[in-house]
Chains A and B, each alone.
Chain A
Amino acid sequence: MSKNGYLQIHDPLKPKGQAVGIDLGTTNSLVAAVVKDQPACVPVDEGDALLLPSVVHYAKDGGVVVGARARKLASEHPTDTIASVKRFMGRSPDDAETRKLGHYKFAPGAKVVRFDVAGGTPVTPIEVSGEVLRALKRRAEAHFSTKVEQAVITVPAYFDDAQRQATKDAGRLAGLEVLRLLNEPTAAALAYGLDKGSQGTFAVYDLGGGTFDISILKLVDGVFEVKSTGGDSALGGDDFDRAIAQRVLETLGASEAPAPALVAEVLAASRKAKEALTDASSVEFTAGGQTHSVKREDFDAWVQPYVQKTGTVCRRAMKDAGVTAGEMDGVILVGGATRVPAVRRYVAELFGREPLGDINPDQVVALGAAVLANLLTTADRQDDVLLLDVIPLSLGLETMGGIVEKLIQRNSTIPTTAGQVFTTFKDGQTGLDIHVLQGERELVEDNRSLARFTLSGIPPLAAGMARVEVRFQVDADGILSVSAQEQSTGVSQSITVKPSHGLTDEEIEQMLLDSIDYAEDDIQARQVREQRVDAERVLAEADRQLGEHGSLLQEEERAVIDSAIARVRELMKGEDHLKLKEAVHALDEASRPFIERVMNQAITQVVAGHSVEDY
């Protein structure tokens, strides 16, 4: 470990520590880096797990827990534990996606989604994602024993400008310089292409937890040219979980406004059932106090509408790329949800060939991101590799009658620019409203509104005489900036588009300031917080068992446990996380004989009433 760190610190080409690739996923997130010319994922969670569940728990005392530990807290604290936050990035509270089955409390009256969580002020999806990124950064730093300040972060290819901007802001909040927002399918292709030295036309079918992407790429002489991309940023494996959960809730008679804790429990059980159905033909599980069983064929039928939706998107992408399924040299599967047999079958049928999946579909995106991070930070490169990516959705302006005039068509290679000249329509008009939109539809209200601003200071002339040129520039991250200039006087205005549903620059600045304060608050304090959350969980469990089964204990046994509990409670007030950890451990030890007795009693009760012959 220190050896790696030593090399990195003294490598003059890497003045900023280790550059990493981050797959900021709906369900899980990963970090990878290129070390000794090989990209590899970095352990980021308990037990050296390479996947960090994208779950953030906010505790009452302001502490934050990220990852598997947070996920364990979800059913107990459903509204304070945010999972799948990616679904909410860059979205407004009244987006259809925001209102899907879930167990969160939203703070009312805001233009931006804000989760009402324990421990103070409501948090935005950007901040929640920032916590996930910060955890990844910290754990990668521990692994490499060096700073991690530069990252390539992947986004679904179909993310719009607001979602991209939100992701970049989350990176900034986590103290990362975002070298590039990289489209996930392109990242996967990079991992495959470099690995295999492939040439030809490939389709990357990426079905993650919450998003679906399809990209058609052409690989020639080291240049990865994306020909077209398509997708649905509100479709993924989570929908499969919800399809099961919906039926379970109906069975439980709780489909109308179910309690958040029940929803969290049922969703978790449904996810496990879905995973089990990859290999099993039927599965049984308990949720809400009842046993449920799901057959693979029923599950396949429930998810069919979602799977078919991906087909429509794939056909359009092929059409945009000007290729047919038969002309494809390979189909690459990415994302955990492509493990679902119904999905694999559908993809094989759609493209008329068996898809490739030899790189782990969970890791392939992070590995590709690491490759790009390395390319972007290594000055002296031997390999001529280049990515030419596209913008997924058309960009346009509102014109008379609420119609969108497209300036940049979807699937244009980025970076790109476009301009359009508008004229005034009233005599003496001195201002022009500029409304920037993203999407494919003709009417303004059917597209995503990205920004509105007014160009003022136009000289008062007769209608049609003043001419305003509006220019769009899209950078290599797919992020738009807009400028407008009145041509006779040169009055100009320029803005980087701040999405209508995003945060203002001031808000981001404030959060950055807050997070710097937070960073100074050392690791020790964070560990205390994390340990406290753990302690709370153990205490709650002990209280429950003692309440229900306290009669199983002798007085002196009870005293031992009580004193262990008292010690934990005492240390929770202090700042020494190591002592607290010891105390929690001691409580565990002290209660073990008791817990065993509780288990034995439960078994005895079940066995009672049966004669030996029954067994």
Chain B
Amino acid sequence: MRTHFDVFGLKRAYDVDVPALEKQYRELSLQLHPDRVAQASARERLQALEGTTALNEAFKTLKDPVRRAFYLLKLHGIDLDREDAGAQKDMPLAFLEEVMDLRESLDTAMAKKDLGRARAMADDVEARKKAALAEAAESLRTLEADAPGAGGQELVRKASHALGRVRYFTRFLEQVDAFEEEIQA
């Protein structure tokens, strides 16, 4: 299977040189984009559309450290974006408690229209998200760099739990943003 890394001719890895990726993205777009073959045959235009769609998808995924991490995990067989993903039900109990606590505090802040409180929580959650992503990155780096053998499953599990938290924190932050916009409107 052609991976997003293959699209850019990159070796699979957690760390990506984003400025270099951006430059390459522009160059490849200039070659592949449907606009370059607007008057060509339907087949060529369809190819251009497919090629550019794949390029856009690959660029979007690789330029962003969070998306990149989720993607690598998916390559290891765990797709956290899937509605029926077993991994979602498989989170540790401590995480569920954390979620309940945050949920309750945010609901209270929102009920009181307390934007200051919500923002303070968001700052805290932002920090937790960063830490969780760093944890996932650590596991993914090891997974990609060495051939971890039997330890591999444990690393995948660790990355999956960390990214499960990242995913939750991201949604939490989106909710605070929406709340902020609602208050300002």
Contact = CB atoms under 8 A, between A and B. Distances in A.
B56 A415 contact: yes
B39 A377 contact: yes
Contacts of B38: 179-180, 376-377
A442 B35 CA distance: 35
- Chain B contact residues (Cβ within 8 angstroms of A): what range? 20 to 34
B184 A312 contact: yes
Interface in B8-60: 26, 29-30, 33-36, 38-39, 49, 52-53, 56-57, 59-60
B30 A476 contact: no
A599 interface: no
Given A312-B184, A420-B83, A413 B60 contact: yes
A71 to B, nearest CB: 36
Contacts of B96: none
A423 B49 CA distance: 29
B35 A415 contact: no
Given A220-B26, A223-B30, A417-B53, A375 B83 contact: no
Contacts of B82: 421
A349 interface: no
Contacts of A414: 56
A547 B142 CA distance: 95
A447 interface: no
B29 A386 contact: yes
Interface centre among A412, A414, A415, A423 (most CB of B within 10 A): A415
Contacts of B56: 412-416
Nearest to B22: A220
Interface string B116-149: 0000000000000000000000000000000000
A473 interface: yes
Contact of A416 (B26, B57, B185): B57
Contact of A221 (B26, B84, B184): B26
B181 A386 contact: no
Given A377-B38, A415-B49, A420-B83, A388 B60 contact: no
A223 B185 CA distance: 35
Given A223-B29, A417-B57, A316 B181 contact: yes
A120 interface: no
Given A179-B38, A416-B56, A223 B83 contact: no
A180 B49 CA distance: 14
A179 B169 CA distance: 42
Nearest to B33: A386
A384 interface: yes
Nearest to A15: B39
Given A312-B184, A312-B185, A473-B53, A423 B35 contact: no
Contacts of A421: 82-84
A518 interface: no
Nearest to A473: B53
Contacts of B49: 415, 475-476
B181 to A, nearest CB: 7
Interface centre among A180, A220, A388 (most CB of B within 10 A): A388
A464 interface: yes
A429 to B, nearest CB: 15
A388 B60 CA distance: 13
A594 B35 CA distance: 62
Contact of A386 (B30, B39, B184): B30
Nearest to A442: B178
Contacts of B83: 399, 405, 420-423
Contacts of B181: 312, 316
Interface centre among B26, B181, B184 (most CB of A within 10 A): B26
Contacts of A379: 39
Nearest to A315: B184
A416 B53 contact: yes
Given A386-B29, A415-B49, A376 B59 contact: no
Contacts of A475: 49
B72 to A, nearest CB: 19
B64 to A, nearest CB: 10
A386 B36 CA distance: 8
A340 interface: no
Contacts of A422: 83
A387 interface: yes
Contacts of B185: 312
Interface in A412-447: 412-417, 420-423, 442
A375 B38 CA distance: 9
Nearest to B175: A442
25 contacts: A179-B38, A180-B35, A220-B26, A225-B26, A312-B181, A316-B181, A376-B35, A376-B39, A377-B39, A379-B39, A386-B35, A386-B36, A387-B35, A399-B83, A412-B56, A413-B60, A415-B56, A416-B57, A417-B53, A420-B83, A421-B83, A423-B83, A473-B53, A475-B49, A476-B49
Given A413-B60, A476-B34, 9 more contacts: A180-B38, A384-B30, A388-B33, A414-B56, A415-B34, A421-B83, A422-B83, A464-B84, A476-B49
Interface of A: 179-180, 220-223, 225, 312, 316, 375-377, 379, 384, 386-388, 399, 405, 412-417, 420-423, 442, 464, 473, 475-476
Closest 5 CB pairs of A and B: A376-B38, A223-B26, A413-B56, A415-B53, A417-B53
